[in-house]
Amino acid sequence: MARRVEGALLLLLVCFNFGNTLHLEALNTRTENKLLLKHRHLVRQKRAWITAPVALREGEDLSKKNPIAKIHSDIAEERQLKVTYKYTGKGITEPPLGVFVFNKDTGELNVTSILDREETPFFLLMGYALDEKGNNLERPLELRIKVLDINDNEPVFTQNVFVGSVEELSAAHTLVMKITATDADEPNTQNSKISYKIVSQEPPYPPVFYLNKDTGEVYTTSITLDREIPH
Ligand SMILES: *[C@@H]1O[C@H](CO)[C@@H](O)[C@H](O)[C@H]1NC(C)=O
């Protein structure tokens, strides 16, 4: 780096992978160069230190991953100032309260609860470094926490009973009805993908109906329906 950046910003660097470990490092200006290279993908802009989102999986005990993040003020360190860290946002100062707790002296942020993506898919927190008068020592920093989905919701039919009717002597492959279900897991993922199946039909043989497993549309087979012959 050609020029040392004066008044380094509030730094927050969260390193994570999607496995089990969640590492975290607070930076200071001396190691900044090295870490910049190492974690280039986490840093978009030299002076803004935008962090990659922290990803936490729903439905599991996360206590071993604590602290999940940490903020650090270089200004306070360089000028030997007393600093108080603070976080605000959903899960801390807005409902659901108490999901996260922090240490005002170290800047460490912990998660306290098992998360539910269907309740809160995403947390946006703000981190602050304050001087003794409560003024910002650094530009407040945004921390995004994404809650990763698990397949913890079963599909649910949108109605208890679907009623269909078809005229007798209808051609084969006539659309009789469409059944629908919903799944609360993350949209457009395998976890929320629904497929339909006929479990039984009466009389069972020869089958008069089949369905499209992806759309839930029920059609007649090539068996001709005759109302006077009880099918
Ligand atoms: C956060 O978690 C760590 C690791 O369990 C613990 O040492 C620390 O005291 C916790 N901090 C707060 C503020 O709860």
Cβ(198)–Cβ(209) below 8 Å: yes
Domain that holds residue 70: 54-148
Tokens of 159: 């109605």
Rounded mean pLDDT, 158-178: 91
The residue ranges of DSSP E strands in the chain, in sequence order, are 13-16, 22-25, 54-57, 69-70, 84-89, 100-102, 108-111, 122-130, 141-148, 156-157, 175-178, 181-182, 209-211, 217-220
Predicted local confidence at residue 47, as pLDDT: 36
CA of 110 to the centre of ligand 1 (A): 6
Cα–Cα distance between 210 and 199 in angstroms, integer?
11
Same domain, yes or no, for 88 and 166? no
Total number of domains constituting the chain: 2
Question: At which residue do the structure tokens 């992978």 appear?
Answer: 17
* Banded model confidence at residue 49, pLDDT cuts 50, 70, 90: very low
Same domain, yes or no, for 90 and 111? yes
Domain of 201, CATH number, reads 2.60.40.60
Rounded mean pLDDT, 182-198: 95
Hey, whose CA ends up nearest to atom 5 of ligand 1?
A: 66
Domain assignment present for residue 178? The answer is yes
Domain assignment present for residue 43? The answer is no
Amino acid at residue number 200:
S
Instruction: From 124, 148, 172, give the residue that closes a domain.
Output: 148
Domain assignment present for residue 203? The answer is yes
Q: 51-106, pLDDT tens digit by residue?
A: 556 899 999 999 999 999 888 888 888 899 999 999 999 999 999 999 999 999 99
Instruction: From 148, 171, 194, give the residue that closes a domain.
Output: 148
| DSSP character string of 159-187 | SS-------TTPPTT-EEEE--EE--SPT
CA 201 to chain centre: 40
* Banded model confidence at residue 114, pLDDT cuts 50, 70, 90: very high
Backbone angles phi, psi at 34, to 5 degrees: -65, -45
All residues at 6 or more sequence positions from 62 whose CB lies less than 8 Å from its CB, including other chains:
56, 68, 111, 114, 115
Give the position, in ligand 1's atom list, of the atom nearest the Cα of 110: 1
* Banded model confidence at residue 10, pLDDT cuts 50, 70, 90: very low
Tokens of 48: 């803004």
Cα–Cα distance between 158 and 184 in angstroms, integer?
12
CA of 191 to the centre of ligand 1 (A): 33
pTM, entire model = 0.68
Domain assignment present for residue 32? The answer is no
Preceding amide of 230 cis, omega within 30 = no
Same domain, yes or no, for 139 and 163? no
Same domain, yes or no, for 62 and 110? yes
CA of 216 to the centre of ligand 1 (A): 49
Predicted local confidence at residue 169, as pLDDT: 83
Counting residues of the chain whose pLDDT is more than 90, the rounded percentage is 56
Nearest to 100 by CA among 121, 136, 124, 134: 124
Indicate the DSSP class of residue 149. P
CA quadruple 91, 96, 99, 103: dihedral sign? positive
User: Ligand 1 — pocket residues by CB below 6 A?
Assistant: 66-67, 101-103, 108, 110
* Banded model confidence at residue 29, pLDDT cuts 50, 70, 90: very low
**189 vs 58, 135, 169, 184, CA distance in Å?**
15, 44, 41, 11
Nearest to 46 by CA among 3, 88, 89: 3
Domain assignment present for residue 22? The answer is no
